[in-house]
Amino acid sequence: MNSTARVCHAAAAAAQLLALVLLSNAPMQVAVADEPPPAVIDSSTIIRSLKPADNVSTRGLEIQPAGADTAPGGGSGKITLDIRFGNDSDRLTQATETQLTALGSALSSPELASARFLIAGHTSATGAAEHNQRLSEARARAVRTYLIEHFHLAARRIEAAGYGSSRPLPNFPPNALQQRRVEIITLPNS
């Protein structure tokens, strides 16, 4: 075999080896990326959900249509967002930037300018309860800090709290991805 043939043979062998490596890693890449991409809720929907109810005096009587989940003149005062963090971390991922931008725009809007909010962090039941509690608190603080720094929101308007896995969603198993969530709750005016 001449030197040109050896180079061609070596190049073909290297290409085959590379193809085998790539193919052998394909299942690993799928296994690592088993989480669906985050669903993004737009700022208009966030505003409608968090808009405080109009102060209408009804002498304690409120009539709502069956199945209504909003307060009169406003939203439900709460919304759950799919805000992703690094595994076992309070580091926000790039996948959540679009959602945080929509949230920051909503909280900066004239409709919500005078409202106060609670950022409530939740975890799944995977891991120790004490660890999950600390992790959920750190994640809620990370979202609060992001909003204050990137959208220049007044710190007094946003509180942060973590609940660990103590308040699971009823329709999902305790270890489900959906349990790892951030809720934004409109607080009463003080």
The most confident of 8-17, 32-41, 68-77, by mean pLDDT? 32-41
Neighbours of 44 (CB within 10 A): 13
Q: pLDDT tens across 125-165, in order?
A: 999 999 999 999 999 999 999 999 999 999 999 999 999 99
Contact yes or no for 28/57 (Cβ under 8 A) = no
Q: Looking at the domain assignment, is residue 12 inside a domain?
A: no
Which range is least confidently modeled, 9-13, 15-19, 51-55, 158-162? 15-19
Tally of domains within the chain: 1
Model pLDDT, residue 17: 45
Specify the CATH number for the domain of residue 154: 3.30.1330.60
Model pLDDT, residue 34: 61
CA distances to 13, 127, 137 from 181, in Å: 48, 16, 12
Whether residue 8 is predicted with pLDDT greater than 70 in this model: the reply is: no
Please state, in angstroms and rounded to a whole number, the distance separating the CA atoms of residues 41 and 49: 11
The burial of 177, by beta-carbon neighbours within 10 Å (0-12 exposed, 13-18 middle, 19 or more buried), is given as middle
Q: Looking at the domain assignment, is residue 57 inside a domain?
A: no
Q: pLDDT tens across 157-167, in order?
A: 999 999 999 99
Model pLDDT, residue 66: 34
Contact yes or no for 102/42 (Cβ under 8 A) = yes
Q: Looking at the domain assignment, is residue 15 inside a domain?
A: no
What is the arithmetic mean of pLDDT over 60-89?
A: 64
Instruction: List the beta bridge partners of residue 81.
Output: 182
Model pLDDT, residue 87: 82
Q: Looking at the domain assignment, is residue 47 inside a domain?
A: yes
Greater confidence (21 vs 157) lies with: 157
Q: Looking at the domain assignment, is residue 168 inside a domain?
A: yes
The burial of 17, by beta-carbon neighbours within 10 Å (0-12 exposed, 13-18 middle, 19 or more buried), is given as exposed
Q: Looking at the domain assignment, is residue 176 inside a domain?
A: yes
Token pair of 184 as six digits: 């934004």
Show the domain range for 88: 37-52+72-187
Helix (H) or strand (E) holding 117: strand 116-122
User: What one-letter code names the amino acid at 159?
Assistant: E
